Amino acid sequence: MKIAFVEIQNFRKLRSCRVEIAFQETILVGANNSGKTSAMDSMILFLKKDRRKDITTTDFTLSNWAHINQIGTQWTTADDDNTPDLTLDQWLPFLPSIDIWLDANDADIHHLIHLLPTLAWEPKQKLGVRLVFAPKDIEKLYKEFREAYRSARDTEPSASSEDERKLSLWPETMRDFLDRELHRHCEVKAYILDPDKCEEPDNGLAKPQPLPANSEPMDKEPYDGLIKIDVISAQRGFSDPKTEDESHSGFESLSKQLRQYFTKHLDPSDSPNASDIDALQAIETAKAIFDEKLKISFVPAIGELEGLNYPGFSDPSISLTSNIRTVDVLDHKTAVQFNVIPECDEGTALLLPEQYNGLGYQNLISMVFKLMRFRDAWIRVGKAAKKQGDDTIIEPLHIVLIEEPEAHLHAQVQQVFIKKAYQLLRNHEKLTEGQLNTQMIVSTHSSHIAHELDFTCLRYFRREPANQRGEIPLATVVNLSNTFGDDTETSKFATRYIQSTHCDLFFADAVILVEGSAERMLLPHFIRHKFPKLDQSYISLLEIGGSHAHRLKPLLETLGLLSLVITDLDSIEEADSKKVIPERGKKFRTGNTTLKEWIPKKEGLDEILDCQDDDKQSESQQIRVAYQCPIQLKYKDDSDEEEVIPYTFEDSLAWSNLQLFRDYQDPKGLLKKLKTALGEETLSEASKKMFDSFDTGSKAEMALELLYLTEPSKLEPPVYISDGLKWLEDKLAEKEQDFSTGTNDGGEG
């Protein structure tokens, strides 16, 4: 048995989304405020019964409150001719809920009898249950809200005067009422779903089935005895070796966790067996020796008390005895120590308390030990089995939710943790059987964590703009294992390329793909000094050749990520595909696969040069290509303007900074060749000499030299790059405007 997917409705910005859960590890990725935390919180708040009390009115999708308030308005205006609707049906479309869909087989049936929708159910079908946070008793809610509302309205006129501001008494709306009375009137209810009515998402939006009218909730918790839920919450505190209060450290100390583990699983005084006898005898011997020492040591002090006529005839005498509990041996700050020089023997070892170990490793050890505790508590290791009874049924499914493990783990430790975490959760002989399953779900902002796992584990949260005024931006979820379909070569390339370079595009506001190393080095320079608004955004910069950029098309389009592809014209002759200087009217074409097969899907050079801005965008207008365009310039001060068409980034940069290149002192390498070319008598001669120099000069070296010697404000980006960056800046501003139409939807989603 395992969770196949969950569908979340009306929870913060997750109005209707499906999150598919992998059999082992699922990693939730996405830009900030995209919905990852909301998805984790929805699973925690609904599946862990002791956390349901933490559901608040801010967990409702904010734009839904207008509809819920309208229900309240209808109730307050109801009369004999206008009876109110007191059914749950009008509430259900606006209430937070989560549908849990399970995959099960014949061996699981005895656990799942109470979840079967009909006796005709077959194991090939999924089993679904909706958990919805709904009013307990509609009539009671109606009466109390209506009474409170009318009482407030009747009181307001007498509480206000003409020269004072109008007084508004609670409650003004249903939202106002539930802000105070939410948990007195609402609870989580469970409803069995029909697998035949389960539909696939449409363009990323889930299509949860409506509940039949007058549906009755289940009379028991659906997942009691079925699913064990454990959580490592996001840690955002700080720690210091001298900090006394562990609550600031984010994680419990290892010594505290060891005490908890010892008490639950190992304590020899708790339900002792034969293997515990030696330890208990040793404790009793130590206790007897220590009691005798106490008695002798306190004789003088007790004698002084007796000199004061205490104890008297009727007073009890003083007797000292120790109470040694096994767990007390771990109850001090130096119970756990680290040996600084491990090869030393015990007598000469150099030891430090655990709080003096590196913070990253303290937290790694703490998190790893928590996972071990979760596992052993689930399968009743050691004393836990006796405490809960040997006949206690172990839940067949263990769900472990981990929020942002990177908060206190540096890059290398993050990678170690995510590679080993699932193995730790399964590292026990009881778990070799196929009927006990573990699923680990991790939300993260860390590219290092995303880097370590296959695409099939990743679920990308894509931000969607608000559709109309008054609504909030929402989120949809992309299962990246489905991104490339049957195109295995494309999938293999994208996976290997992203994992060998950057995974940070999964967390970026936008991505820029560049042709070569020179662009990669100089582009941040242009953004920093020429596009300050763009510089404030989280941009992922990827270096990829023009012949490969199109292979990322399925990934970028699926992610819905704003993307700028900066590439080269790569002009070639029509007959023999020989590289040539770009010119109009020569029937030249492009050798660039991105321009031919992706955007603008044209091959003739004249066609490409004549493309308008709209032709350079994808159909969704989320991806734009930028390539060299004709430049009008005066090659000499006394000459007329002429058109030159650059071949690549480097000559385009030279033509855009003509005087700067000519005045450059003591250039080297390719920069020297470009300066020499600009000394030619005519523009066409200069263009040819530049073209010939590209086969031997180092482009990266030229970029480094420009960065080292040129004042930042003097180096102008080529026009085609400026146009592309301006497009990206405008698009990000549009997205920001879309997101500003709503309000913060209950925290980082």
Query: Domain map of the chain by residue range?
Result: 2-226, 509-749
DSSP for residue 265: I
Burial class (CB in 10 A: 0-12, 13-18, 19+), 495: middle
Task: State yes or no: pLDDT of 746 exceeds 50.
Answer: no
pLDDT band at 60 (very low <50, low <70, confident <90, very high): very high
CA distance 234 to 212: 38
Q: What is the pLDDT of residue 320?
A: 65
**Measuring CA to CA, how many Å separate 21 from each of 3, 17, 375, 480, 484?**
6, 13, 19, 12, 19
Tokens of 440: 């680990």
Calculate what percentage of the chain has a pLDDT beyond 70. Answer: 79
Sheet hosting strand 25-30, strand order edge to edge: 227-232, 397-403, 437-443, 25-30, 458-464, 474-479
What's the alpha-carbon Rg for the chain, to the nearest Å?
Answer: 35
CA distance 427 to 640: 78
Average pLDDT over residues 47-74: 95
Helices (H), 132-271: 138-159, 174-185, 254-261
238 or 83, greater pLDDT: 83
Burial class (CB in 10 A: 0-12, 13-18, 19+), 36: buried
Average pLDDT over residues 81-98: 92
Read off the pLDDT of residues 687-742 as tens digits, 9 standing for 90 and up: 999 999 887 768 888 888 888 877 767 899 999 999 999 999 999 988 876 554 44
Read off the pLDDT of residues 363-400 as tens digits, 9 standing for 90 and up: 777 788 889 889 999 998 876 666 665 557 899 999 99
CA distance 721 to 725: 6
Task: State yes or no: pLDDT of 246 exceeds 50.
Answer: no
Tokens of 139: 């009539």
Read off the pLDDT of residues 439-455 as tens digits, 9 standing for 90 and up: 999 999 998 898 888 87
**Measuring CA to CA, how many Å separate 399 from each of 19, 24, 325, 649?**
15, 10, 34, 52
Q: What is the pLDDT of residue 54?
A: 96
Task: State yes or no: pLDDT of 569 exceeds 90.
Answer: yes
**Mean pLDDT of all residues in the chain?**
84
CA distance 112 to 132: 20
Which residues sit opposite 127 in a β-bridge?
102
pLDDT band at 313 (very low <50, low <70, confident <90, very high): very low
Q: What is the pLDDT of residue 645?
A: 96
343 or 692, greater pLDDT: 692
Read off the pLDDT of residues 452-511 as tens digits, 9 standing for 90 and up: 888 789 999 998 877 766 677 788 999 988 775 555 666 666 766 776 666 788 999 999
**Contact call for residues 10 and 63 (beta carbons, < 8 A):** no
Q: What is the pLDDT of residue 223?
A: 95
**Contact call for residues 642 and 652 (beta carbons, < 8 A):** no
Buried b (16+ CB within 10 A) or exposed e, 581-617: bbbeeeebbbbbbbbbebbbebbebeebbebeeeebb
SS3 state at 22: coil
CA 372 to chain centre: 24
